C-alpha cells in the first residue's frame, strides 16, 4: 500500500507504509460486543480489540455492565495495550460489554471523539442508558446534527457516532432494539454499530452492508451453561478469544444478544448491497473471513490473476511487505518465478515516531523498509503491492530498489487505479492528490520511475473475491457511488466546522 503510514500507529500495524507523514487511506474503526455472563467480558473485549487494532490506532475503549447495572466506560487515546491496565479490566468486570478501536473518519483525533460513546436519557424507571461503538461514516451527519441541536440536544463530541447514540437514547420505545429499528432509517451512509443497554447488546448494519460485521459463538466455560454470542468487525477477533464464526450480520439486520441468546429482525429496505471491495484488497486482516472468503486466499488469487492479465519477463517476485505478501506468493506460483523478501520491514515505527529531520529525510522510508541488495542486485523484479494512492511512497520504493541494484522494476498492483474519494468511512486523499487522477497508466509509471506498471482489473478483483459489482461498492475505483447524495459535505471535520468542539 502506498501511504505513509496507511494506518496510524504503525507500532502494531502490519501494513503501515511510511515514516510518519499521513499519505494514504486509513482504516475506519473496529467494533466488538458480547453478552456473556459466566465469561470475563472485559478481558475478552480487550483481546478482541487487540485483534482488531489494525482497524484503528488513535483510541480504544471498552464499556461494560452487569445485567441491570450501570454502564462503566474506559476510553483513551492510544493503542489497546497502552489504554488498558490490569486494574482497568478488573474495574470493567461485568456480564456484557462493547468495545471499539478508532481511526477518525469524522471528527478529529481528540479524547472526546473516542468511543464507546455513552448517553443517558430520562430518569428512574424510564432511564435509558446506552453505550455505542460505530464503524463507518454517516453522510447525513451535518443535517441530523443541526436538527438535534435545534431540538435542544447537546453534544460532547464532534463525531457522527454521538448523533446515532443521541437518537437511540432519546427514542421513547421500551425495548432498545425497537428504538434502533425506528432510528435506523434516519441514518444514511455506512454503519456497523454495536449498542449496549443495561441488559443486552444490539448490533446492526446499514441496509447496504458497506462495512463488515460478523456474529460469533462462545462455548460455555462450564458444562450445562448456555452458548453466548458476540459480534465483531472481523472474524479474526473471534479466533483470538476462542469463539466460532457463525455468520455475518446481514445488511439492514438488527441482532440482539441477551439472556434469550441470539435474536434477529430485518429492517425492510430496497437498497442494493454494496459491501466495500477494498476490505478484501487491503483493509481487513488476511486471516479474517468475509462473505465466505478467507482474505489471504482471495489475495493470493489476485496475484495469480495479475500474472494472467499482465505477464512480464522477470527473475524474482518480491512484495511490498506486508500488504503485498499474499498476492506476491500467488503471482510467483502462477508465473513459476522464484519469490523472496526484497525488503526487511521494521514493525515498530509508530505514528508518534520522532521525525527523521532534514539530514535523514531522504532515508525516511528506510525506517520502515530496508531493501536487501544481496537479494535484489542484478535482478529483473516484479514488485507486488495492494494499491497506490498519492504515489510518494511507491516512488521512493522504486528508487530504493534501483539504488540496491535492481536491473528492472515491474510494479503489479492488486487494485485498479484509485481515482475517487470514499464517503463511507475510509479516509483518503483528495481527488487532486491521487496520482491516478487525470493520468493514464503510462504517465503514472513514468512518474514512479518504474519499467512497467499494471493494475489488476476490476473484473479480476471480483473474480478473486467471488462476487460481482451488483453487491459491492467499488466507488473509489469506478466513481459509481452506491448511495445518492454523497458529495463530500465538509469531509471528516464537517461537524467541527458546524460546531466548535465542546469539552465534556
Ligand atoms: S469507496 Fe472504496 S473504500 Fe469506500 S466503501 Fe467504496 S470500495 Fe470501500
CA atoms within 13 A on the CB side of 32: 38
Is the CB–ligand 1 distance for residue 277 below 6 Å? Answer: yes
Distance 308 CA to ligand 1 centre (A): 25
Q: Which helix (H) or strand (E) holds 400?
A: helix 392-403
Distance 274 CA to ligand 1 centre (A): 9
451 secondary structure, DSSP code: S
pLDDT score of 429: 78
pLDDT score of 359: 64
pLDDT score of 259: 96
pLDDT score of 350: 55
Mean pLDDT of the region 381-393: 94
Query: What confidence tens digit (pLDDT) does each residue in 147-163 have?
Result: 999 999 999 988 899 99
Whether 383 and 420 map to the same domain: the answer is yes
What are the backbone angles phi and psi of residue 117, rounded to the nearest 5°?
-80, 135
Alpha-carbon distance of 251 to 451, in angstroms, equals: 43
Whether 280 and 334 map to the same domain: the answer is no
Minimal-distance CA residue to ligand 1 atom 8: 276
Residue 503 lies in a domain: no
Minimal-distance CA residue to ligand 1 atom 7: 474
How far lies 325's CA from each of 14, 126, 288, 317, in Å? 11, 54, 15, 10
Residue 276 lies in a domain: yes
Contact 79, 60 (CB under 8 A): yes
Is the CB–ligand 1 distance for residue 475 below 6 Å? Answer: yes
Mean pLDDT of the region 284-302: 95
Residue 485 lies in a domain: no
Query: What confidence tens digit (pLDDT) does each residue in 431-490 have?
Result: 999 999 999 999 999 999 999 999 999 999 999 999 899 999 999 999 999 986 544 444
Q: What is the CATH number of the domain that holds 426?
A: 3.40.50.2020
Q: Which of 288, 314, 335 is the last residue of a domain?
A: 288
Residue 405 lies in a domain: yes
Alpha-carbon distance of 52 to 67, in angstroms, equals: 26
Distance 483 CA to ligand 1 centre (A): 11
Residue 486 lies in a domain: no
Residue entry with cell 420505545:
173
Q: Is 476 marked active-site?
A: no
Whether 263 and 339 map to the same domain: the answer is no
Q: What is the CATH number of the domain that holds 110?
A: 3.60.20.10
Residue 308 lies in a domain: yes
Alpha-carbon distance of 327 to 331, in angstroms, equals: 6
Q: Which helix (H) or strand (E) holds 357?
A: helix 357-360
Q: Which of 232, 256, 288 is the last residue of a domain?
A: 288
504 secondary structure, DSSP code: -
Q: Which of 237, 253, 288 is the last residue of a domain?
A: 288
Whether 275 and 311 map to the same domain: the answer is no
Calculate the average pLDDT of the chain: 88
Whether 133 and 253 map to the same domain: the answer is yes
Alpha-carbon distance of 42 to 73, in angstroms, equals: 11
Range of the domain at 233: 29-288
Per-residue burial over 188-225, b if 16 or more Cβ lie within 10 Å, else e, is bbbbbbbbbbbbbbbbbbbbbbbbbbbbbbbeeeeeee
Alpha-carbon distance of 11 to 4, in angstroms, equals: 13
Q: Which of 150, 151, 160, 164 is nearest to 119 (CA)?
A: 164
Number of compact structural domains in the chain: 2
Whether 249 and 392 map to the same domain: the answer is no
Whether 349 and 258 map to the same domain: the answer is no
Distance 14 CA to ligand 1 centre (A): 21
Per-residue H/E/C for 24-53: CCECCEEEEEEECCCCCHHHHHHHHHHHCH
Q: How many CB atoms lie within 10 A of CB 185?
A: 12
Is the CB–ligand 1 distance for residue 103 below 6 Å? Answer: no
Is the CB–ligand 1 distance for residue 415 below 6 Å? Answer: no
Helix, strand, coil fractions of the chain, as percent rounded to 5: 30, 25, 45
Whether 281 and 334 map to the same domain: the answer is no
Given pLDDT bands bounded at 50, 70 and 90, which one contains residue 25?
A: low
Whether 148 and 251 map to the same domain: the answer is yes
Whether 197 and 315 map to the same domain: the answer is no
Mean pLDDT of the region 85-111: 87
pLDDT score of 159: 87
Residue 6 lies in a domain: no
Please tell me the pTM assigned to this model: 0.89
Is the CB–ligand 1 distance for residue 422 below 6 Å? Answer: yes
Whether 365 and 273 map to the same domain: the answer is no
Which of 122-131, 152-161, 328-337 is the most confident on average?
328-337
Whether 44 and 178 map to the same domain: the answer is yes
Mutate to test the pocket of ligand 1, among 103, 278, 477 (most ligand atoms within 8 A of CB): 278
Residue 441 lies in a domain: yes
Amino acid at each position: 500500500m502506498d501511504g505513509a503510514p496507511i494506518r496510524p500507529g504503525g507500532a502494531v500495524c502490519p501494513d503501515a507504509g511510511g515514516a510518519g507523514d499521513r499519505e494514504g487511506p486509513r482504516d475506519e474503526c473496529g467494533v466488538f460486543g458480547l453478552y456473556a455472563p459466566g465469561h470475563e467480558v472485559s478481558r475478552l473485549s480487550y483481546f478482541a480489540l487487540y485483534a482488531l487494532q489494525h482497524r484503528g490506532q488513535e483510541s480504544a475503549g471498552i464499556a461494560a455492565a452487569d445485567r441491570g447495572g450501570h454502564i462503566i466506560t474506559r476510553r483513551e487515546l492510544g493503542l489497546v495495550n497502552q489504554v488498558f491496565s490490569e486494574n482497568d479490566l478488573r474495574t470493567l468486570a461485568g456480564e456484557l460489554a462493547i468495545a471499539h478501536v478508532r481511526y477518525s473518519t469524522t471528527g478529529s483525533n481528540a479524547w472526546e471523539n473516542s468511543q464507546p460513546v455513552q448517553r443517558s436519557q430520562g430518569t428512574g424507571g424510564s432511564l435509558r442508558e446506552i453505550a455505542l461503538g460505530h464503524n463507518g461514516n454517516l453522510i447525513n451527519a451535518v443535517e441530523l446534527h443541526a436538527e438535534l441541536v435545534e431540538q435542544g440536544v447537546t453534544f460532547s463530541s464532534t463525531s457522527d457516532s454521538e448523533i446515532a447514540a443521541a437518537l437511540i437514547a432519546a427514542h421513547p420505545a421500551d425495548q432498545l432494539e425497537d428504538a434502533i429499528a425506528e432510528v435506523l432509517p434516519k441514518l444514511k451512509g455506512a454503519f456497523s454499530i454495536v449498542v449496549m443497554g443495561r441488559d443486552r447488546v444490539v448490533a446492526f448494519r446499514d441496509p447496504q452492508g458497506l462495512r463488515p460485521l460478523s456474529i460469533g459463538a462462545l462455548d460455555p466455560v462450564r458444562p450445562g451453561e448456555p452458548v453466548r454470542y458476540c459480534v465483531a468487525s472481523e472474524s479474526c477477533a473471534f479466533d483470538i478469544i476462542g469463539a466460532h464464526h457463525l455468520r455475518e450480520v446481514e445488511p439492514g439486520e438488527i441482532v440482539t444478544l441477551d439472556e434469550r441468546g441470539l435474536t434477529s429482525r430485518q429492517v425492510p429496505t430496497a437498497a442494493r448491497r454494496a459491501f466495500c471491495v477494498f476490505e478484501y484488497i487491503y483493509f481487513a486482516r488476511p486471516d479474517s473471513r468475509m462473505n465466505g472468503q478467507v482474505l489471504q486466499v482471495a489475495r493470493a488469487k489476485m496475484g495469480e490473476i495479475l500474472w494472467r492479465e499482465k505477464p512480464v519477463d522477470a527473475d524474482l517476485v518480491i512484495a511490498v511487505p506486508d500488504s503485498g505478501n499474499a498476492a506476491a506468493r500467488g503471482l510467483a506460483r502462477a508465473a513459476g518465478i522464484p519469490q523472496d523478501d526484497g525488503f526487511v520491514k521494521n514493525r515498530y515505527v509508530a505514528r508518534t515516531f520522532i521525525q527523521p529531520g532534514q539530514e535523514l529525510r531522504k532515508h525516511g522510508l528506510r525506517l520502515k523498509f530496508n531493501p536487501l541488495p544481496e537479494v535484489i542486485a542484478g535482478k529483473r523484479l516484479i514488485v507486488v503491492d495492494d494499491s497506490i494512492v498519492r504515489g510518494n511512497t511507491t516512488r521512493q520504493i522504486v528508487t530504493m530498489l534501483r539504488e540496491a541494484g535492481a536491473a528492472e522494476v515491474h510494479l503489479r498492483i492488486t487494485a485498479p487505479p484509485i481515482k475517487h474519494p470514499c464517503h463511507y468511512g475510509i479516509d483518503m486523499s483528495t481527488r487532486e492528490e491521487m496520482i491516478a487522477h487525470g493520468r493514464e497508466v503510462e504517465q503514472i509509471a513514468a512518474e514512479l520511475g518504474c519499467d512497467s506498471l499494471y493494475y489488476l482489473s476490476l473484473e479480476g478483483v471480483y473474480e478473486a473475491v467471488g462476487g460481482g459489482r451488483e453487491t459491492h461498492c467499488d466507488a473509489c475505483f469506478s466513481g459509481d457511488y452506491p448511495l445518492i447524495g454523497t458529495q463530500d459535505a465538509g469531509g471528516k471535520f464537517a461537524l467541527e466546522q458546524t460546531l466548535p468542539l465542546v469539552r465534556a
